[in-house]
């Protein structure tokens, strides 16, 4: 009897195949927000609108993602992560189908916005997997799932540019829909069943939402890190959307495939980010972030003089993609000294601000380009980069002056 009880309660871990399937799912669902980066000019032309109007598509998508994370991610504490993943991935597939069949910009933007709102799976899957892997493999699996996010972004931007050049932009989204249908069908087999938590009251749910704001108010260092990453992500979206519009303009004459190839430069972050993370462990996240912000502003400043040729623009792209992701990593590290029971909610506020920044960067990046061209976009990026540097310097000085007591 005791032996049977022991067998029934032994943990069942995910297989290697399931781990890879979950990583694939994360890559595919993450990619949906980034297909538009290299092809934004073609989408604008297809709907007969200008750069400022088409910029609303990625802007609303990022803003909706921020709202979705705030309102939907806490549901993971109330319902089965498995069921939530199945629901939200299925909803993404439906929204992407809406984008494929949209015949005007309003419908396309609406479907894209709803797609952003339900893109919660990349944040739920790691939580699910963490409970279904052996403790000694937790770091490996977490790194694998995190890398899947970067891989999804890379493949989306490179693939979209190449496909649009040799087919058209609409084919990009048809292919994306096919991938979403495949992972939606695959996901039930990749996710093992887990006990469904008892449903808690609406009052409890609302208190969790409110606590995201109250905790952020109590931790100014987290607010500073969130603001820095918000600006940093705004630079990321503004730079790629502006660069795509610039290079595919009649004056420059490059194709979307050239923009896609350039997006491949971001692969350098897969190598440099882990190394810079280990360096940040040694020198401290704030000092590392200040150094990265100082290097990044040099790369941003080089975008204008070197941005008129696809070969020379590789230089600033390499610089920015080497240090830009480390600003995010070091920002998250500043929350690691805080009590474990509040980190998830602090991370929620951090991610929400990050995607609000991405929305602002998308809107401003395309609008400024319409009225100021490449020079205007580069000026915008320099101003935002100065903000990242100034806040990083403020955070470093504030920490050195009176480091907070660790909250364990």
Which range marks the domain in which residue 124 is found?
17-187
Regarding whether 258 and 162 lie in a shared domain, the answer is no
CB atoms within 10 A of CB 219: 19
- Inform me whether the pLDDT recorded for 146 exceeds 90: no
**Same domain, yes or no: 219 and 163:** no
Same domain, 158 and 248: no
Of the three residues 144, 169, 187, the one that is the final residue of a domain is 187
- Is residue 4 a part of any domain in this protein? no
User: Among all chains, which residue has been given the structure tokens 């951090």?
Assistant: 350
Residue 172 and residue 61 share a domain: yes
Q: Are residues 128 and 261 in the same domain?
A: no
Residue 393 lies in a domain: yes
In a domain, 202, yes or no: no
Q: Around Cβ 376, how many Cβ atoms within 10 Å? A: 17
Q: What is the CATH classification number for the domain harbouring 23?
A: 1.20.1250.20
pLDDT at 25 exceeding the cut of 60: yes
Structural domains in the chain (count): 2
Question: Is residue 2 a part of any domain in this protein?
Answer: no
On whether residue 360 sits in a domain, the answer given is yes
pLDDT tens profile 343-352: 677 778 888 8
Picking from 34, 31, 205, 36, the residue whose alpha carbon sits closest to that of residue 122 is: 31
State whether 169 and 274 are in the same domain: no
The verdict on 387 and 245 lying in the same domain is yes
CB 145 within 8 A of CB 30: no
Range 246-265 average pLDDT: 86
Q: What is the pTM of this model?
A: 0.79
pLDDT digits (tens, 9 = 90+) for 30-69: 999 989 988 888 899 999 988 788 888 999 999 999 999 8
Considering the domain architecture, whether residues 178 and 238 belong to the same structural domain is answered as no
The average pLDDT across 245-264 equals 86
Q: Is residue 192 part of a domain?
A: no
How far out from the chain centre does Cα 143 lie?
A: 15
Tell me which residue has tokens 């380009």: 369
Question: Based on the domain organization, do 34 and 170 belong to the same domain?
Answer: yes
- Chosen domain end from 167, 187, 207: 187
In a domain, 196, yes or no: no
**Helices within 73-137 (DSSP H only):** 81-101, 105-117, 121-130
Same domain, 262 and 388: yes
Whether 230 and 320 share a structural domain: yes
CA distance 273 to 317: 15
In a domain, 144, yes or no: yes
Q: Are residues 148 and 33 in the same domain?
A: yes
Element (H, E) at 42: helix 36-47
Cα R_g (the chain), whole angstroms: 21
């Amino acid at each position: 009897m005791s032996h049977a009880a022991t067998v029934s309660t032994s943990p069942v871990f995910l297989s290697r195949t399931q781990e890879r399937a979950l990583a694939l799912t994360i890559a595919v669902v993450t990619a949906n927000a980034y297909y538009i980066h290299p092809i934004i000019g073609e989408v604008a032309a297809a709907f007969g609108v200008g750069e400022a109007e088409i910029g609303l598509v990625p802007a609303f998508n990022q803003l909706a993602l921020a709202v979705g994370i705030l309102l939907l991610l806490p549901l993971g504490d109330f319902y089965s992560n498995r069921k939530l993943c199945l629901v939200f991935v299925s909803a993404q597939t439906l929204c992407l189908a809406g984008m494929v069949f949209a015949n005007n910009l309003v419908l396309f933007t609406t479907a894209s916005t709803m797609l952003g709102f339900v893109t919660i799976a990349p944040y739920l899957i790691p939580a699910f997997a963490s409970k279904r892997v052996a403790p000694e493999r937790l770091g490996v699996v977490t790194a694998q799932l995190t890398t899947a996010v970067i891989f999804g972004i890379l493949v989306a931007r490179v693939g979209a540019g190449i496909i649009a050049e040799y087919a058209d932009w609409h084919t990009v989204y048809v292919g994306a829909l096919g991938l979403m249908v495949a992972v939606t069908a695959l996901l039930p087999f990749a996710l093992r069943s887990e006990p469904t938590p008892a449903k808690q009251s609406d009052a409890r749910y609302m208190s969790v939402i409110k606590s995201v704001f109250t905790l952020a108010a109590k931790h100014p260092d987290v607010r500073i890190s969130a603001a820095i990453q918000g600006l940093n992500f705004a630079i990321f979206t503004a730079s790629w959307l502006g660069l795509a519009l610039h290079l595919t303009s009649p004056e420059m004459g490059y194709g979307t495939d050239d923009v896609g190839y350039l997006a491949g430069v971001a692969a350098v972050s897969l190598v440099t980010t882990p190394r810079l993370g280990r360096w940040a462990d040694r020198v401290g996240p704030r000092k590392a972030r200040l150094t990265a912000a100082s290097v990044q502003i040099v790369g941003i400043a080089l975008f204008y003089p070197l941005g008129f040729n696809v070969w020379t623009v590789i230089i600033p792209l390499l610089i920015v993609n080497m240090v830009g992701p480390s600003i995010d990593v070091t920002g998250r590290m500043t929350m690691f000294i805080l009590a474990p029971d509040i980190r998830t909610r602090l991370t929620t506020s951090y991610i929400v601000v990050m995607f609000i920044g991405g929305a602002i960067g998308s809107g401003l990046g395309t609008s400024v380009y319409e009225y100021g061209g490449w020079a205007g976009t580069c000026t915008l990026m320099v101003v935002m980069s100065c903000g990242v540097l100034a806040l990083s310097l403020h955070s470093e000085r504030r920490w050195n002056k009176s480091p907070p007591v660790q909250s364990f």
